Copies of this chain bind each other. A is one copy, B any other.
Amino acid sequence: MFEKYDPREGKRLQLMDENGKFTPNGGPILNDDELLDAFKKMLYARVADEMAVSYQRQGRLLTYPPLKGQEANQVGAVLALKKTDWIVPTFREHAAWATRGVPLYNLLLYTYGNEEGMNVGKDFRILPVSIPIASQTLHAVGIAYAMRYKKEDSIVLTYVGDGGTSQGDFNEALNFAGVWNVPVIIYIQNNQFAISVPRFKQTAAKTLAERAFGFGVEGVQIDGNDIQAVYQAVKLAADKARSGGGPTLIEGFTYRLGAHTTSDDPTKYRSDEEVKQWELRDPILRLKLYLISKKKITEDDISKMTEQFKKEVDEIFRKVESSKDPTPEDIFKYHYKEMPYELKRQLNEYKTYLEEGK
């Protein structure tokens, strides 16, 4: 299906270039209103992301993994899905969560250090943040098996990083997806680094997308900063999956403009020069240039919008700050449907201690 973009021939799918111009073989996939909507979603994610970082700097938030620069990989992909399709994220997909419609409150509460933030209900069909690298890709394959078994026409999208492709689990997931031929899309956000480790130290292969073929799976590399390329690739892969065509591996070629997490210092392992180069390829910038050229939006609209988003995020974060901390019960009671005696005993002993302390 992606024959025209065989990564083994050094091809990469791109529809709109860094200047907001369509590439020769490109062209509009989303109409201008849809693009405007996508732009707003990316901008909202960007604002929320930058504010989270500043909250952390102010000591109001704990370790936070910024996604700045990777928005298109998430907004574009989730827009290409149906609401009934599953999302299996790792830990840097806040834009995907938002695009799916999960209240920002939940993610901020989670980042604030409260598990309650992950209690978003089942209807969003998104799994909790998964931190053990690449482990979640197998969960996605299992859900895909279940969707086919239950004859639902839902598919599964899972995210993993460039570093994650080195894990056994990632490769087992590709392999199981291939043999089972289940409806899953494994989306690699190749943001060029695994913390401080550059992409070329992860594998000797030229691209990550070509990993797929050795498992009998189709793989394609796309410009992850071009939201239309992301949308199209995911749409095509999703249609294929829905019609029984099986899994697809997508490598979104992108860049983490921020730090790995707020406790990371990128200057230790990369040059400002490199970062500047990538700022020119910002997924939001190019869409902005396009929309302005199409008179769908003005610089002024954008700054107004930005202010508005900041207000919203700030209100949400204040709610988070005034949220209640977990009680002793909270840290015990969700391990089993019914709390076993050993846990009740530990909880009661602790509560007695707290009582006496009073």
Checking B179, B203, B210 against A175 with a beta-carbon cut-off of 8 angstroms, the contacting residue is: B203
Number of copies: 2
The CA-CA distance from A206 to B217 in the complex, in Å, is 11
Q: CB distance A214 to B216 under 8 Å? A: no
The CA-CA distance from A168 to B166 in the complex, in Å, is 9
Residue A213 interfacial (CB < 8 Å): yes
**Contact residues, A196-254 vs B (CB, 8 A):** 201-206, 210-217, 246
* Residues of the B chain whose Cβ atoms lie less than 8 Å from the Cβ of A211: 214-215
Please count how many residues in chain A sit with their CB below 8 Å of the partner chain's CB atoms: 26
Q: Please give the distance in Å from A186's CB to the nearest CB on chain B.
A: 13
Residue A17 interfacial (CB < 8 Å): no
* Residues of the B chain whose Cβ atoms lie less than 8 Å from the Cβ of A212: 214
**Contact residues, A147-181 vs B (CB, 8 A):** 166-169, 171-172, 175, 178-179, 181
Residue of B nearest to A165 (CB): B175
The CA-CA distance from A168 to B170 in the complex, in Å, is 8
The CA-CA distance from A181 to B178 in the complex, in Å, is 28
* Residues of the B chain whose Cβ atoms lie less than 8 Å from the Cβ of A205: 178, 213-216
**Contact residues, A254-297 vs B (CB, 8 A):** none
Residue of B nearest to A172 (CB): B168
**Contact residues, A5-26 vs B (CB, 8 A):** 8
The CA-CA distance from A214 to B213 in the complex, in Å, is 7
The CA-CA distance from A58 to B215 in the complex, in Å, is 43
20 A-B residue pairings within 8 Å (CB atoms): A8-B213, A166-B172, A167-B168, A168-B169, A168-B171, A171-B171, A175-B203, A178-B204, A179-B201, A179-B202, A179-B204, A181-B204, A203-B215, A205-B214, A205-B215, A210-B214, A211-B214, A211-B215, A213-B214, A214-B215
6 more contacts with CB within 8 A, not counting A178-B204, A178-B205, A212-B214, are A168-B169, A178-B203, A204-B217, A205-B215, A205-B216, A206-B216
Q: Please give the distance in Å from A204's CB to the nearest CB on chain B.
A: 3
* Residues of the B chain whose Cβ atoms lie less than 8 Å from the Cβ of A181: 204
Q: Please give the distance in Å from A261's CB to the nearest CB on chain B.
A: 24
